[in-house]
Structure 1
Amino acid sequence: MPITPEQQAEIDAQRATPRQTLRAVSEGMEAHLYNAYPVLDHGFVRVIDYMGDDSAICQAARVSYGKGTKSVQNDEGLIRYLMRHWHSTPFEMCELKLHVKLPVFVARQWIRHRTANVNEYSARYSILDREFYIPQPDQLAAQSVINNQGRGEALTGAEAERVLEILKGDAARSYDHYEEMISDDGKQGLARELARMNLPANIYTQWYWKVDLHNLLHFLRLRADSHAQYEIRVYADEICKLVADWVPFAYKAFEDYRMGGAALSAGALDCVRRMLKGEEVTAENCGMSAREWRELQEVLEG
């Protein structure tokens, strides 16, 4: 269960007390503010605060007074130009603060993006809840035989059941020992900061994560990609929906030029030019490695 009835009541109370402001407001993001959107079995993503909108990007690019806009069409065209030519600074003028509940092993992958401000729930001061990520059966997969960091075919039948039982049993047993170690019922009890070392990597943690739009889009380009690990990709997919409503012009440009576009090396671009001239370009005469040639073919074939 991602949130409790008490937490939902708190969210309802926050949404029931709007405040007047002179600052730029994104109506799309206002609809999402404070709401918790479930991810995985116990996780969620919710917007705590944001700054700026599409017009703020244009205002920064033009360094102008007021909204900084000439027309909606001009704003959209400017944002697409900025995205197309990798002018990133204006996108840094918008910021987003998220409250995320996620498994520890996902958090450790997420934190590799070192361009955000993070404050995580402390297991030194507080006791973690008995909540663990247990994959759905269709997400249990064997190691890929062609990719050292990816998944292969899904486990089935008795093998899938065996793995699920191990995951559930180990998580429950580790938490039982965690509770036993910190208990002060007739014992000294181990310090929480030490007892937490025994908890499994699939236990849930929470954090506030604040990032500017430029670095957020970089995060989404990598983590919402089909090659990203499923458990972090579903969080990125949920965040994409929020960003699309927050800064629709910027997100559409991001979809076109980053998510849907492709960067070509000088060698790959030369191959494409040769193809356009009618020359037969093959793996043997392309001048690239076998892997580069294969990747170019994937881009061209879609």
Structure 2
Amino acid sequence: MTLTPDQTAEIDAARAAESRTLRPVSPGMEARLYTAHPVLDHGFVRVIDYMGDDSAIVQAARVSYGRGTKKVSDDAGLIAYLMRHWHSTPFEMCEVKFHVKLPIFVARQWIRHRTANVNEISARYSILDREFYIPAPENLAAQSASNRQGRGEALEGDEAQRVLDWLRDDATRAYDHYEAMLGQEGQQGLARELARMNLPANVYTQWYWKCDLHNLFHFLRLRADPHAQFEIRVYAEAMAEITADWVPLAYAAFEDYRMGGAQLSAKGVKVLKRRLRGEVVSQEDSGMSKGEWREFEGVWG
């Protein structure tokens, strides 16, 4: 992770300033505020602001005043019930705003989650930094033979080094040309909005990403999953750790029912009931496709 002296000073100043408030705050999130958590080689995630905590979810579900006289165990039970039965609205009462520095190709995958408010740095007005994502050697892999959008075995030796050299050289050359095209002393130069098209997809960009808790959980369920692409998964994992400190009761329910749970189709329910009655069920008489059956067996054996 790379922070400029100005950015470090800004973070230190923000963390040193304290404001009194009447609204409920999350101690876990207060400890996280403004701090930049490193991701990949030059990226980071940090919380800029947030609204609500576990009590806000409970309050919205009960439509009550204040925290009331309920015990923490009662709140945990209610939040688990809401998660279990897919009652999403109370979770929308909590919001968080992240500042994220990430490679452009990760941002283009991330932006598919259209349930957030996003403001990205504009290369029409700003000159992007000379920072590129270069994978660690252990994260270089061939195309998977069984998954069209996944990775297979890791590259090794000379082949891995050749790929790393190309990635670094190509990114450096493209940025050199980007810089040279911009207006310099004694040269009119190309407009920034045109020069930026020469930048590679592994150049870092930055954005503010604001999302409610319900949609953040949806993002984490997909992107913190072991099957997600590594480069976006590490961001999701960092955000998951922050979220666990922010709303511990809600995150525990999310881990239990979404990340650690399993969803069954109607056919899957029938097969499971038949198995519990002692029947031997095969894919051919299950009504499932081969892909569905493979996924079913992956969870239920």
TM-score, normalising length from structure 2? 0.99
Shift of 1:296: 0.2
Partner Cα distance (1:57, 1:19) in 2: 24
Aligned residue runs from structure 1 range 149-298, under 5 A: 149-298=149-298
How much has 1:5 moved relative to structure 2?
3.1
What SS does structure 2 have at the residue aligned with 1:142? strand
Summarize deviations over 1:63-106 as a string: whole Å, max 9, x none.
Answer: 11112561111100000000000000000000000000000000
Q: Does the aligned pair in 2 maintain the 1:55–1:68 contact within 8 Å? A: no
Q: Which residue of 2 aligns with 1:46?
A: 46
| Cα pair 2:121 2:207 within 8 Å, conserved | yes
- Worse-matched range after superposition: 75-84 or 2-11: 2-11
Question: Residue type matched to 2:191 in 1?
Answer: A
Number of aligned residue pairs: 301
Secondary structure in 2 aligned to 1:291? helix
CA drift of 1:285 comes to 1.6
Aligned to 2:100: 100
> Which letter maps to 1:31?
A
CA displacement at 1:141 relative to structure 2: 0.4
Please say which of residues 183-192 and 18-27 is displaced more in the overlay. Answer: 183-192
Percent identity of equivalent pairs: 73
Structure 2 contact 183–191 (Cα < 8 Å) conserved: no
Note the residue ranges of structure 1 that are not aligned, 5 or more in a row. Answer: none
TM-score when scaled to structure 1?
A: 0.98
How far did residue 284 of structure 1 move? 2.1
Q: What CA distance in whole angstroms lies between the structure 1 residues aligned with 2:190 and 2:287?
A: 62
- Matched letter for residue 21 of structure 1: T
Aligned equivalents of 2:296 and 2:273: distance in 1?
Answer: 13
- Between 182-191 and 15-24, the greater mean CA deviation after superposition: 182-191
Distance 2:199 2:50 in 1: 34
Q: What displacement does 1:4 show?
A: 2.5
2:182 touches 2:192 (CA, 8 Å); kept in 1?
yes
- Match of 1:16, as an amino acid? A
Q: Which region of structure 1 is more displaced relative to structure 2, 283-292 or 67-76?
A: 67-76
SS at match of 2:32: coil
For residue 47 of structure 2, give the secondary structure of its aligned residue in structure 1: strand
The Cα of 1:184 is off from its aligned counterpart by: 2.6
Which digits, 9 at most, give the CA deviation of each residue in 1:4-23, with x for residues without a partner?
A: 23322211111111110000
Structure 2 segments unaligned to the other structure (5+ residues): none
Number of the residue aligned with 1:90: 90
SS at match of 1:210: strand
Aligned to 2:15: 15
